[in-house]
Amino acid sequence: MTRGRPRRPWDRTPPEQREYFDLLGEGLVAQLAAPSAPDAGSRGDAPASGAWLHVGPDGIVRAFTGKAEVGQGTRTALGLLVAEELRLPLERIELEMADTDLCPWDMGTFGSRSMPDAGPALRAAAAGAREALLDLAAAARSLPRDRLEAREGEVRLRGATSGTPYAELVRGLREVRTIDRKIGLTPPSAWERAGHPVADPRGADVVTGRRAYVSDLRPPGLQYGAVLHPPRYGARLRHAEPGPEPLPAGTRLVVEPPFVGAVGPSPRLARAALAQVRADWILPEPNDVDVEAYLRSHPRTEESWDRVEDRAGDPDHALASATVTVRATYRTAYVAHVPLETRAAVAEWEGRRLTVWVGTQTPFRARDHVAEALAMSVDDVRVIVPFTGAGFGGKHGGDVATAAARLARAVGCPVALQYSREEEFRFGYFRPMAIIDIAAGAEKDGRLSAWTFHNTNAGAAALRTPYRVAHRRIDNELSESPLPQGAYRSLAANTNNFARESVMDELAARLGIDPLEFRRKNLEDERLRAVLDRAADRSGWGGWVPRAGWGHGLALGFEKSGRVATVAEVEVRGERDLRVRRLVTAFEAGAIVHPRNLLSQVEGAAVQAIGGALFEEIRTRAGRVLNPRLSQYRVPRFSDLPEIEVVLLDRPDLPPAGGGETPMIATAPAIANAIFDATGRRVRHLPLLGKEPTAPTDRPSTENLTPAAG
Amino acid sequence: MTGGTVDHGIRLTVNGREVAVAPHPDRSLLEVLRYELGLTGTKYGCGEGECGACTVLVDGGPARACQLPVAEVEGAMILTVEGLARDGALTDVQRAFVETGAFQCGFCTPGMVVRATGLLARNPHPSDGEIREALDGNLCRCGGYTRIREAVRRAAEAAAPGGSP
């Protein structure tokens, strides 16, 4: 998909100077006024996505977006939206994604922003192109504009069965239309293509092995790299030099302290060369001896989008007078993303200009990172994200791109770099470990009356409660982490939802009220009630025949405009021996664009959530990961698969929201609540089958924190 | 000595083509496929036989290419994902994966397709339990197991007499 290269990246070129037609050929271009890159760190007020597209005389529409396809199905979903506005079959749309030379600037593919941001931008550009095509046809054929319509890739007289193909209208044309972002869009209720099931038009490439992921790219003259990593997190290189042994044939060391790497004819030989290096490290004092104590005592003070504070009434007073109260501390472990394709990049230089193909969710940030690290102009760095073997929030940034670029610069030929699985575990980053301190109270009639919720190090996603409560104090603390941490599918929503929905269950149990009834009684949001009721109905909530060791639990959640409710059925056969038998998830995220993909996302989210709920946990000692292999870090397998039932609620009256993240956030608490139902045992830590974290005496009250007993 | 001559090489047949590769004790079949023969459909996922992304068929049986020293497959018939479709026509298993939408990022798919192909060759009508057992060594981190199971069921139906083409 690499095309020619513009003089400067188009996102950094004024619209009137972009060489659209030199690179794409004649045709019609429709562009949205694109935002420019904002100052770093301003994630809270993300600028609107840009979009442009090109209608060519081959009848193909190339639509450009800065978003990346990382397995979440955005390519096809966005393609459907473009196809819809242009009244074209999906096969005629080519999404050009995440190429920093050609695509509009984008902050990154995270936070379920592709549908709400890139979706409307591409729809607007496509609608604008359609209107331009109607103008062209009216002028070319001397037809009344208001009697024309676009259908099946043609402009037709209203009601006619054939007309002038777009290809013909744009032949010889070199016209750029700037589209108003507020142009009228086809409402979801009128969609003929979007919203209907389609298969991936490029599915054959996947099942035949033809699809090239980053680690499969083989430009001519390619060599393979390896990089030296610190022995533990935070270590700094003091000195490195080649050892006395000869290097394997065809290999070279690249020593640019603090960077040290090697290049050779295969990854194995590059690693063998690297093994000859003698390195001396400055080791930091380990600070992961008691991570919880460290997190609690190392608050971060800087401003952040990732902080929320929600206070009302007098929660302390309300707690003191509540009929029942729960005071508890919940904990979640560091978790790894484990994308099946490890971090990988291929770098190729042409003179002073560089192209890096890399599996990243933030191509434009990676471009900045590479340019800064290599002291280059951003204009000379091109980052392209081809297909990558998933991300789940774990592939932010540009470390591997920068390393590949250094190696390629040093040896003068293209270099591929791919992390081993162990490197992926050791030198990526994790979902944050977190501690949540909660005190909550409810009244005899089932009314929630007091809610204090404070998390340390999780983040703000899904921090607020969707339940009506007059007296509340909700906030979060960000901490210095002794281990590298970062984004993860659903971010903090997993953690916050686990704690909140567990405590709601605890309150219901104290009151002797059915957990479904208790939630319904306190819920305001109609859309949440709808998913809750659907999940309960589908699961047959309350109608089960009691069975020793079996239990049921439910939980709900809302985040990023999506609403979810999950009912879990578990069989507990002993301590650490538990099977999730059934998960019923109801999910709603506005209008459904790509129903098959959404179903896959919700089912997949359920499976991935089982891992974090039951057994996924990164263990470290002195800044080293103790379980950096798939044989030591268990992720869900076929044999862990429960019966999964998904109910998708379509809301054509609402704009489409993202569907990759939120469906997973009710799973862990639903399972925890089902364990309680089965055994009477309340597990307050993730993973649920992990060891009970020890609680030193100097910590805040952990009343009710009884150790897990078989 | 690595990457040397093929005069004294190890001969094997990959997707019907006879090839000779240099022997080396540390060289896995996966390395030969990906870096010497350019067959990148077979993926690296873990290097310890835990994820199944590198699944190939060796003399018809499933094997993990990352765990196979190439010297051990001398004379064997290797089938990789690239060798399944003949003349561009997808196999029942491949078609079922596309029609079912049984992939998200798709990185595990070649291994899954190859493993499922091996299963159906030996057992054309597997139960759900047999599908689970056969594919338990293949990880899909996107969590697509439900769709994958449906694709294997569908492929089995398509191959059955009277099944849909």
Rounded CA-CA distance A283/A233 in Å is 9
Look at residue B115 and tell me if it is in a domain: yes
Single-letter amino acid, residue A103? C
Looking at residue B9, its pLDDT comes to: 86
A63-92 residues labelled b (16+ CB within 10 A) or e (exposed)? bbbbbbbbbbbbbbbbbbbbbbbbbbebeb
Instruction: Give pLDDT tens digits for A425-459.
Output: 999 999 999 999 999 999 999 999 999 999 999 99
Look at residue B4 and tell me if it is in a domain: no
Residues B18 and B72 in one domain: yes
Q: Are A442 and A507 in contact (CB under 8 A)?
A: yes
- Per-residue tokens: A702: 């952990």
What angle, rounded to 10 degrees, do the helices at B128-135 and B145-159 form?
120
Calculate how close chain B gets to A305, using CA atoms only, in Å. 28
Any idea where the domains of chain A sit in the sequence? 10-206, 214-283+343-418, 291-335+430-686
Full domain range(s) for residue B114: 92-159
Residues B19 and B74 in one domain: yes
Looking at residue B5, its pLDDT comes to: 43
A10-206 with A214-283+343-418: one CATH topology?
Answer: yes
Closest CB to A604 among B95, B104, B113: B104
Residue closest to A187 by CA, chosen among A108, A83, A84? A84
Closest CB to A203 among B41, B98, B108: B98
State the average pLDDT for chain A.
Answer: 94
Instruction: Kindly state the helix (H) or strand (E) to which residue A178 belongs, with its residue range.
Output: strand A174-179
| Cis peptide leading into residue A230 (ω within 30°) | no
Which DSSP state fits A210? -
Q: Which residues of B touch A629 (CB under 8 A)?
A: 46, 48, 50
State the average pLDDT over residues A341-348: 98
What count of Cα atoms within 13 Å lies in the side-chain half-sphere of residue A403?
A: 24
Helix or strand or coil: residue A488? coil
Residues B14 and B50 in one domain: yes
Strand order in the sheet with B77-79: B17-21, B10-14, B77-79, B55-58, B61-64
The percent of residues above 90 in pLDDT, for chain A, comes to: 92
Q: Are A359 and A213 in contact (CB under 8 A)?
A: yes
Residues B104 and B154 in one domain: yes
What count of Cα atoms within 13 Å lies in the side-chain half-sphere of residue A187?
A: 6
Rounded CA-CA distance A479/A674 in Å is 32
Spatial CB neighbours of A36, under 8 Å, sequence gap ≥ 6:
A11, A47, A105
Q: Are A75 and A201 in contact (CB under 8 A)?
A: no
Q: Does A5 have pLDDT greater than 70?
A: yes
Q: Does A191 have pLDDT greater than 60?
A: yes
pLDDT bracket for residue A574 (50, 70, 90): confident
Residue closest to A333 by CA, chosen among A298, A291, A299, A297? A291
Q: Does A501 have pLDDT greater than 80?
A: yes
Looking at residue A46, its pLDDT comes to: 59
Closest CB to A389 among B105, B132, B145: B105
For residue A463, give Cα distances in angstroms to A71, A310, A325: 27, 9, 20
pLDDT bracket for residue A42 (50, 70, 90): very low
**Residue among B109, B142, B153 with most chain A CBs within 10 A, to mutate:** B142
Spatial CB neighbours of A37, under 8 Å, sequence gap ≥ 6:
A11, A105, A364
Q: Establish if A138 touches chain B: CB-CB under 8 angstroms.
A: no
Q: Which residues of A touch B43 (CB under 8 A)?
A: 213, 215, 340-341, 389
State the average pLDDT over residues A18-42: 78
Look at residue B74 and tell me if it is in a domain: yes
Looking at residue A130, its pLDDT comes to: 98
Looking at residue A286, its pLDDT comes to: 87
- State the fold for domain A10-206: Aldehyde Oxidoreductase; domain 4 (3.30.365)
Q: Are A63 and A81 in contact (CB under 8 A)?
A: no
Closest CB to B3 among A73, A207, A265: A265
Residues B70 and B100 in one domain: no
Cβ burial, residue A412 (10 Å; 0-12/13-18/19+): exposed
Rounded CA-CA distance A113/A43 in Å is 12
Spatial CB neighbours of A239, under 8 Å, sequence gap ≥ 6:
A257, A279, A280
Q: Is B146 within 8 Å of A603 when comparing Cβ atoms?
A: yes
What angle, rounded to 10 degrees, do the helices at A667-679 and A493-511 form?
30
Looking at residue A694, its pLDDT comes to: 58
Rounded CA-CA distance A408/A404 in Å is 6
Alpha-carbon dihedral of residues A12, A15, A21, A27, nearest 10 degrees?
140
Residues of chain B with pLDDT under 70: 1-8, 161-165
Please report the sign of the dihedral spanned by the C-alpha atoms of residue B90, residue B96, residue B97, residue B99: positive
Q: Establish if A60 touches chain B: CB-CB under 8 angstroms.
A: no
Instruction: Give pLDDT tens digits for A192-222.
Output: 999 999 999 999 999 999 999 999 999 999 9
ipTM of the complex: 0.95
Phi, psi (deg, nearest 5) at residue A583: -130, 125
Q: Is B50 within 8 Å of A629 when comparing Cβ atoms?
A: yes
Strand order in the sheet with A154-157: A148-151, A154-157, A164-165
Of B25, B60, B81, which closes a domain?
B81
Look at residue B121 and tell me if it is in a domain: yes
Calculate how close chain A gets to B100, using CA atoms only, in Å. 8
Q: Is B142 within 8 Å of A639 when comparing Cβ atoms?
A: no
Q: Does A135 have pLDDT greater than 70?
A: yes
What angle, rounded to 10 degrees, do the helices at B145-159 and A595-614 form?
120
Looking at residue B59, its pLDDT comes to: 97
Q: Which residues of B touch A249 (CB under 8 A)?
A: 1-3
Report the 10 Å Cβ neighbour count for A242: 15
The percent of residues above 70 in pLDDT, for chain A, comes to: 95
Rounded CA-CA distance A316/A324 in Å is 14
Q: Which residues of B touch A613 (CB under 8 A)?
A: none
Q: Does A273 have pLDDT greater than 70?
A: yes
Helix, strand, coil proportions of chain A in percent (round to 5)?
30, 25, 45
What angle, rounded to 10 degrees, do the helices at A493-511 and A515-522 form?
110
Closest CB to A340 among B105, B113, B132: B105
Looking at residue B26, its pLDDT comes to: 82
Please report the sign of the dihedral spanned by the C-alpha atoms of residue A654, residue A658, residue A660, residue A666: negative
**Residue among A208, A263, A392 with most chain B CBs within 10 A, to mutate:** A208
Q: Does A700 have pLDDT greater than 90?
A: no
Looking at 1.25.60.10, 3.30.365.10, 3.40.50.300, 3.40.1390.30, the CATH number of the domain A214-283+343-418 comes to 3.30.365.10
Residues B14 and B73 in one domain: yes
Looking at residue B22, its pLDDT comes to: 85
Q: Does A305 have pLDDT greater than 80?
A: yes
Residue in A closest to B148 by C-alpha? A638
Instruction: Give pLDDT tens digits for A599-652.
Output: 999 999 999 999 999 999 999 999 999 999 999 999 999 999 999 999 999 999
Look at residue B116 and tell me if it is in a domain: yes
Q: Is B145 within 8 Å of A212 when comparing Cβ atoms?
A: no
Closest CB to A204 among B26, B38, B98: B98
Residues B73 and B16 in one domain: yes
Q: Is B50 within 8 Å of A341 when comparing Cβ atoms?
A: no
Residues B23 and B74 in one domain: yes
| Cis peptide leading into residue A258 (ω within 30°) | yes
Q: Does A705 have pLDDT greater than 70?
A: no
Report the CATH number that the domain containing residue B123 is assigned in CATH.
1.10.150.120
Rounded CA-CA distance A256/A250 in Å is 20
Which DSSP state fits A428? S
Q: Are A431 and A450 in contact (CB under 8 A)?
A: no
Calculate how close chain A gets to B144, using CA atoms only, in Å. 5
Residues B15 and B61 in one domain: yes
Instruction: Give pLDDT tens digits for A328-338.
Output: 999 999 999 99
**Residue among B80, B127, B141, B153 with most chain A CBs within 10 A, to mutate:** B141
Q: Which residues of A touch B108 (CB under 8 A)?
A: 340, 389
What angle, rounded to 10 degrees, do the helices at B128-135 and B109-122 form?
130
CA distance from start to end of chain A: 56
Residues B99 and B152 in one domain: yes
Q: Does A707 have pLDDT greater than 70?
A: no
pLDDT bracket for residue A34 (50, 70, 90): low
Residues B67 and B98 in one domain: no
Calculate how close chain A gets to B49, using CA atoms only, in Å. 9
- Per-residue tokens: B106: 């798709």
Q: Are A118 and A111 in contact (CB under 8 A)?
A: no
**Residue among B105, B109, B115 with most chain A CBs within 10 A, to mutate:** B105
Looking at residue A83, its pLDDT comes to: 98
Closest CB to A596 among B80, B101, B145: B101
Residues B104 and B124 in one domain: yes
Q: Which residues of A touch B110 (CB under 8 A)?
A: 207, 209
The arrangement of secondary structure in A291-335+430-686, i.e. its CATH architecture, is 2-Layer Sandwich (3.30)
Single-letter amino acid, residue B73? V
Instruction: Kindly state the helix (H) or strand (E) to which residue A527 belongs, with its residue range.
Output: helix A526-539
